[in-house]
Amino acid sequence: MEDPTASNVTPPANSSSQIIPSPSSVKVSLESRINRLINANQSPSPSRSIYSDRFIPSRSGSNFALFDLASPSPSKEDGAGSYATLLRAAMFGPETPEKRDITGFSTSRNIFRFKTETNRCLNSFSPFVSDDGPGVSHAPIKALRKVSRSPYKVLDAPALQDDFYLNLVDWSAQNVLAVGLGNCVYLWNACSSKVTKLCDLGADDSVCSVGWAFRGTHLAVGTSSGKVQIWDASRCKRTRTMEGHRLRVGALAWGSSVLSSGSRDKSILQRDIRCQEDHVSKLAGHKSEVCGLKWSYDNRELASGGNDNRLFVWNQHSTQPVLKYSEHTAAVKAIAWSPHVHGLLASGGGTADRCIRFWNTTTNTHLSSIDTCSQVCNLAWSKNVNELVSTHGYSQNQIIVWKYPTMSKIATLTGHTYRVLYLAVSPDGQTIVTGAGDETLRFWNVFPSPKSQNTDSDIGSSFFGRTTIR
């Protein structure tokens, strides 16, 4: 065997004998070759990279103190360390101080090593939580509820007007739905599906708004002639007719003992049905038709919206608005008070605005706004959970269920072919009914019950098919 350490000297041509290596020189030759291979791995040539199919752990990421071993002297990071850095960046993104604080890893450590010096919760490596310290729940984020995308019942409603400024549908505490169709008002009992014709205003008048009193026994009806009629629904008998408006009454709202009516004549009349007078006060402030009215749940504040793009808030005794909001850029019909937070008011704007805005009337602040990309026709809060539903017109005619305050969409419901101008909530707070110019009323199960979010409403527990309300 040729000695690789011998000098490259060619023997003279006239040499008479060949040099035969001794056994000791063979041994030295093997050791020299092995040393050269080892040295080559430790000091790779800068001009080429050495790759291996074996996994060699990075010493820089190892915890030698855990095994009572002396830590080796620092050395230049090898290929395995570079690969770990690239893998860490691919999985977690570029390292920042914030990420280091959350994950507990740093670029100088192996991301797959055991870590025993810090006690961490078992859930701390869950993708849904971060290690926020003691006293913080690490439960995974709940998935959004599943809401049926189809109505469980559809009623034909002939002559249901396609007019943004009217309010022709309301649902009573007695589980009876009132609907204004043309010059008549019909009652639909949700328990028995029985339809009753309450009144007929005649050929010279028409229904512009309906509103149930809290107990659900009396119904207020606003007319195109500017009158407000009070009807006893149980006896189908008119008990009173009140005047005061010069033009149609498109909005009604019941307080504890007051009935408020809003008109195209720009005024709001406060009516105490216990008094003989047709109205006890007149609220002036809007410059155009009043199309939205809602009393707060404590009956201390009245919110009004108009075609002048204004949202006003009144108290029980004021004749001028105590709060004025002008951020909307279109008519404000959609108004809803939160049943969960005192003074939280939601409002929606028309086609040129398309926004849902939230206000704190206690501190007189604008909280937030979201562009829905569609005309906002109605708003209603769930009384069971902190969610709300909005109905829309141009251009998508959809119904959206929102989670508040994140305003994440829980469900988007479609089916109406015209603007969804009318909305009412069932007395149990689980079902909504929507009406549109396509002359249909559609019933949807959108909110959970107060006890269980998986319990279906008795009202919408089965599919009844399609029928006619009159």
Taking alpha carbons only, the member of 376, 409, 463, 445 closest to residue 193 is 463
pLDDT at 81: 65
Count CA atoms closer than 13 A to 168's CA, side-chain side.
33
Contact 462, 191 (CB under 8 A): no
Q: Phi and psi (nearest 5°) for 81?
A: -65, -40
* pLDDT value, residue 464: 44
> Of 291, 365, 285, which is closest to residue 320 (Cα–Cα)?
285
Confidence (pLDDT) at 85: 76
Q: In Å, what is the CA distance from 64 to each residue of 74, 108, 116, 136?
A: 13, 15, 13, 34
Give the pLDDT score at 256: 85
The secondary structure of residue 60, as a DSSP letter, is G
Query: At 425, which helix (H) or strand (E)?
Result: strand 420-425
Instruction: Give the domains, in start order, of the chain with CATH numbers.
Output: 151-448 (2.130.10.10)
φ, ψ (nearest 5 deg) of residue 406 = -70, -20
Tell me the average confidence (pLDDT) per consecutive run of 10 residues in the chain, 470 residues long: 45 46 55 60 52 57 63 55 73 60 46 42 40 47 80 96 98 97 97 96 97 95 98 96 97 94 98 93 97 96 98 94 98 98 97 97 97 97 97 94 97 97 97 97 95 48 58
| Amino acid 130: pLDDT | 40
pTM of the predicted structure, to 2 decimals:
0.69
Residue 133: per-residue pLDDT: 45
DSSP E strand stretches across 182-309 = 184-189, 195-200, 207-212, 218-223, 228-232, 237-242, 249-254, 259-263, 268-271, 281-283, 290-295, 301-306
**Torsion angles phi and psi, residue 458, rounded to 5:** -65, -25
Are 228 and 203 spatial neighbours (Cβ–Cβ below 8 Å)? no
